[in-house]
Amino acid sequence: MRSRFNINNYSNLGQRAITAAIGAVVVISSIIFSDWTYFLVFAAILGFAQMEFYKLCGLDGMLPLKSFGTILGLMLFSLTFLIEKEQFPNEYLYLIFPIVSLTFFIKLYKKTDKKPFTGVAFTYLGIFYVAVPFSLINLAVFSVDQTYHYEIILGSLLILWASDTGAYFAGTKFGKTKLFERVSPKKSWEGFLGGAFSAIAIAFLVARYFHTIEDWKWLVIAGIIIIAGTYGDLIESLFKRSIEIKDSGKGLPGHGGFMDRFDGLLLSAPFITAFLKIF
């Protein structure tokens, strides 16, 4: 009798490897194939990540507008993409302000919500914490001559994944000195250094093959990812620890949720985009 594949039959490391391989194929293929496939896949990731964030808020007793907040996040992502792609004029970005203001109108008619201030605040926090970084990626990939350059996002992701992978294996094998024990007891300085070494090594490799930006900029991006990415991981650990959960979701076996996998990108993206736009 033919046996069915079940990822739950594998160890945590096996699940991580299988999920990472499948996810990497999907993400890398979408980035390289066209700007529209990049848009669709990253919009999906954004939607799942923002819903996870609002779910965490709910577990902490908050009542954000989950669906409406996620729609606003996707709208911001779509607008920045279409404007950078020069499908819409820049003035269309102003549409986001009156639409975001609808949050107050909706909360006004929520009779069961006893804390409307916190509901509105956490709805906006989900947009700022999750949707804005993803939207800024659009500015980064179009930062050179207003043309879609997949090398920028692909190179950044390869460096980020190298940092995460290096930190995981170095921390598992050699981790002794706690990095930030109050927030994340398992993270170590040895893991941080292993991640930093891996990120820099991949940055040199990326710079050799991707020439959309100067070589030295890839090293700066690696530095941003090493520092901001680590803080992004710690900040999400702080959120999860405050409500006593291990993972932000269960959508990615072996990795937890989408926020668990892309938390480093959430804090790195604003710095990377600002760096590329300024320099």
* Residue 8 counted as domain residue: no
Tokens of 85: 């792609």
Query: What is the tally of helices (H) and strands (E) in the chain?
Result: 10, 2
CA separation for the pair 270, 98 (Å, rounded): 24
Q: 231 and 140, same structural domain?
A: no
Q: Which residues, 6 or more positions from 3, have their beta carbon under 8 angstroms from its beta carbon?
A: none
Q: 52 and 119, same structural domain?
A: yes
| Residues 163-196 pLDDT 10s | 999 998 999 889 889 998 888 888 899 999 999 9
pLDDT at 227: 96
Using DSSP's 3-state secondary structure scheme, residue 179 falls into: strand
**Sign (positive/negative) of CA torsion 51, 56, 58, 64?**
negative
Q: 178 and 205, same structural domain?
A: yes
| Residues 66-117 pLDDT 10s | 999 999 999 999 999 999 999 999 899 888 889 889 888 888 887 777 778 8
**Residue in the block written with tokens 């959309």:** 212
- Which residue range forms the structural domain that includes residue 128? 34-145
Find the mean pLDDT for residues 258-264: 86
Report which of residues 249 and 105 the model is more confident about.
105
Q: Of all helices (H) and strands (E), which one includes residue 99?
A: helix 96-108
CA separation for the pair 87, 132 (Å, rounded): 20
- Model confidence at 260, pLDDT cuts 50, 70, 90, reads confident
**Sign (positive/negative) of CA torsion 227, 256, 19, 188?**
positive
* Residue 217 counted as domain residue: yes
pLDDT at 257: 81
pLDDT at 10 over 70: no
Q: Which residues, 6 or more positions from 172, have their beta carbon under 8 angstroms from its beta carbon?
A: 191
Domain count, the chain: 2
Q: Distance between terminal CA atoms of the chain?
A: 61
pLDDT at 214: 95
Q: 174 and 217, same structural domain?
A: yes
109, 124, 145 - which closes a domain: 145
Kindly report the pTM of this predicted structure. 0.90
Q: Which residues pair with 120 in a beta bridge?
A: none
85, 110, 145 - which closes a domain: 145
Q: 134 and 173, same structural domain?
A: no
Find the mean pLDDT for residues 247-276: 83
**Sign (positive/negative) of CA torsion 230, 212, 76, 247?**
negative
Beta carbons within 10 angstroms of residue 108's beta carbon:
10
Q: 66 and 43, same structural domain?
A: yes
Q: 42 and 129, same structural domain?
A: yes
| Residues 136-149 pLDDT 10s | 999 999 988 889 99
Beta carbons within 10 angstroms of residue 80's beta carbon:
23
111, 145, 179 - which closes a domain: 145
* Residue 6 counted as domain residue: no
